[in-house]
Amino acid sequence: MIKKSLVYLVSIGLYACIVQPVSAALTESQKNYVAARAALKSGDDYSYQRLKRRLADYPLVLYLNYHEKIDHLDGLSASQFAKWSAQFEDSPLYQGARHRFLMSAGKQEHWQDFLSISPSAPNSIELQCYYYQAQLAKGDKQAAFDGAKTLWLYGASQPKTCDELFSKWSNAGELSEALIWQRMLLAFDAKQLGLMSHLAKSMKSHKAQAQLLIDVYGDPKQLRHTQKFKKSDPLVADVVTIGLRKLAQTNLSKAFSLYQSYQQKGLFSKQQSQLAAHALVRRALINQDVEYLSRIDSLLPMINSDDVTEMRLRWAIRDNDLKSLTQFLPLLSPEAQQESRWQYWTARSRNDIELLKKLSAQRNFYGFYAAEQLQQDYQMAHNQLPALSQQQQRELQQTPGFLRMLEFKALDKKGSARIEWDYLIQNSDNGPAFGQLAIIKGWPELAIQATIAGKHWDHLALRFPIAFKDSMQAAARRHQVDLYEILAIARRESAMFPLARSSAGAMGLMQVMPATAKQTAKRYSLPYSKDTQLLEPKYNANIGTGYYKYLLEKYNGNRVLAIGAYNAGPSRIASWLARADGQLDTMAFIESIPFKETREYVQAVISYRIIYEALHSNGKVAPLFTDSEMQFAY
């Protein structure tokens, strides 16, 4: 008995060391949980069961129950799975367990069990393929084959789990050459030459057209041989339509010329003509070449696309072309015309004071600017929440999901903690209250996430907290930069999440690139020795603010240019200024920024700064733009 206990105690210590260095600050239950997970992973059931018995009331025992069985679902019936998984239904674990069971049931062709757990089509493509096989086994051929058709009509290969469904669907005579052709066109757009070639082998009556499509994919310049494509055949017209879209990427002038030629010969249907015109006009608008302006304007009314129309409107704004702006605003859909952006430009083009008054009631960039133009106060529409009582705080903190999140935070499992928090907020009627609790606890990023997940847009105190106050204030003082501006930048960049990382490599609160950090630290003699310091608020705020200060100095205090450069880089600002050539006012320059991300970034940061000051300052809120920014010729 003594010997067994010694072995057991030694094994617990080893498991704790294997997983991670266990902090002395961890509770006994937390240490036992870490050791239990290690024992379970290593297959030491004896130690695992002994440890687990010590964790009966521990919040994360749910995760032990999950991992204990998740790899052994193959023998379960639907009723057995339902009984076991019921414990996970109010946690993020349930969907993972359900997915694993359905995959197992599908592989084993246990269709009744599958449909018992998933009576409607799942989201996963793999599971959808199993679902429609289950429908076929149940005898609902119509539902099964309709689903198979939808899944098959995709421009790339589908998972192998779909092969059986597709085979049964095809063998039933449901696969026509018309469907094969549709998928070849989808594969063309998806740049899947291998799939196109594979599909072409199944064509019988239209082998020539299939080969023509593959040839044009390889060399769209073949479309110049118009005699080769003169046949009155909808499939040939499809080849020309999709080929022109590809040709436009490399030779727009030739694409326009050929489009006109084929159009005059009556090759296209109305829809094909519209699709080709859309591709050509969009490419011309991206290139911003005046050579194509008359062609763009003549084709724009037939295209019926807000995306393309907005690109043309921005060109008109960039050129101070009021006539074109007025001409093309009505081409927007009714929904797009009601957006604050186009409400502003409509009001400006007509000098419509009543429309401007209506716009000034909105809490956004254009609403704030409209209010300034009318010399009115900004409208915040702020939903002030009553303070949480101590009793309310205690009740919220006893929520199982909150307790699990706390434990993951204590174990430094930040990803798992965030998953639990997001699930809690998305499935609770107390989202704003949890946001308040997060502020009290010093977790501003979780408060912000609570408003995003619950779409609580009017709870401004939760959406715009002064996060990491000491670090942000110290950085603002060190670099003599407005505190609300750097808060606005951090809010837009990371939603105040200090561990945020972008796919491009930007890190931390203000999403600083490591190379930029090194340059900035050297420029201002800031403490900085390694990239991981960017995940610490005090370093990130200091360096990010230093870089923003550098940009302000570079642009003589012009925040529009500095904020734009913070997002897109100084070289792009230089090219946009050169293109504008000193002919644009502030609003027109911002609207003419070609990158949607940067355009919306500038507008958001400037607007967020207004909201921050309105919420946290007792003084008068500064205007959207300074006098020098308004007077600058962009």
Query: What is the model's pLDDT at position 331?
Result: 98
More confident residue, 188 or 19: 188
Rounded to whole angstroms, how far apart are CA atoms 130 and 99? 12
d(CA 447, CA 124): 31
Decide: 6 and 21 in contact? Cβ < 8 Å: no
Ordered by start, the domain boundaries in the chain are 219-304, 390-457, 469-631
pLDDT surpasses 80 at 45: yes
Domain 390-457 has CATH 1.10.3720.10: no
**Residue range 386-444, pLDDT digits in tens:** 999 999 999 999 999 999 999 999 999 989 999 999 999 999 999 999 999 999 999 99
Distance CA 69, CA 79 (A): 15
Q: Would you state the pLDDT for residue 13?
A: 35
Average pLDDT of the residues in 227-245:
93
Residue 231 has pLDDT above 90, yes or no: no
Evaluate if residue 21 carries a pLDDT over 50.
no
Q: What percent of the chain has pLDDT over 90?
A: 93
Q: What average pLDDT score do residues 175-195 get? A: 98
Q: Half-sphere exposure of 64 toward its Cβ, with a 13 Å CA cutoff?
A: 25
Lowest mean pLDDT among 341-350, 451-460, 538-547: 451-460
**pLDDT tens per residue across span 245-292:** 999 999 999 999 999 999 999 999 999 999 999 999 999 999 998 999
485 is catalytic: no
Confidence band, pLDDT 50/70/90 cuts, at residue 10: very low
Identify the bridge partners of residue 512 per DSSP, sorted by sequence position: 507
| Spatial separation of the C-alpha atoms in residues 186 and 192, rounded to whole Å | 9
Distance CA 74, CA 68 (A): 14
pLDDT at 221: 97
Average pLDDT score over residue span 567-579: 98
Q: Tell me the one-letter amino acid at 154.
A: Y
Split at pLDDT 50, 70, 90, the class of 24 is low
- Which residue has 């913070």 as its token pair? 566
Active-site position among 407, 420, 493, 613: 493
Average pLDDT on 359-368 reads 98
How much is the pLDDT for 23?
52
d(CA 42, CA 49): 13
pLDDT band at 14; cut points 50, 70, 90: very low
Q: What pLDDT, on the 0 to 100 scale, is given for residue 619? A: 80
Residue 16 has pLDDT above 50, yes or no: no
Segment 106-138, tens digit of pLDDT: 999 999 999 999 999 999 999 999 999 999 999
At 454-494, the pLDDT tens digits run: 899 999 999 999 999 999 999 999 999 999 999 999 999 99
Tell me the pLDDT tens digit for each residue of 54-81: 999 999 999 999 999 999 999 899 999 9
> What CA–CA distance (Å, rounded) separates 526 from 538?
11
Which residues lie below 8 Å from residue 600, measured CB to CB, with a gap of 6+? none
CATH number of the 469-631 domain: 1.10.530.10
Give the phi and the psi of residue 507 in degrees, each rounded to 5.
Answer: -135, 145
User: What is the Cα–Cα distance from 490 to 123, expressed in whole angstroms?
Assistant: 34
Q: With a cut of 70, say whether residue 560 has pLDDT above it.
A: yes
Assign 507 to helix, strand or coil. strand
Is residue 5 over pLDDT 80?
no
CA distance 245 to 210: 18
Query: Do the first three CATH levels of 390-457 and 469-631 match, i.e. the same topology?
Result: no
What integer pLDDT is reported at residue 20 of this predicted model? 43
Structure tokens, 186: 């989808």
Count of C-beta atoms within a 10 Å radius of residue 158: 16
CA distances from 310 to 329, 345, 482, 534 (A): 8, 11, 34, 38
Average model confidence (pLDDT) for the chain?
95
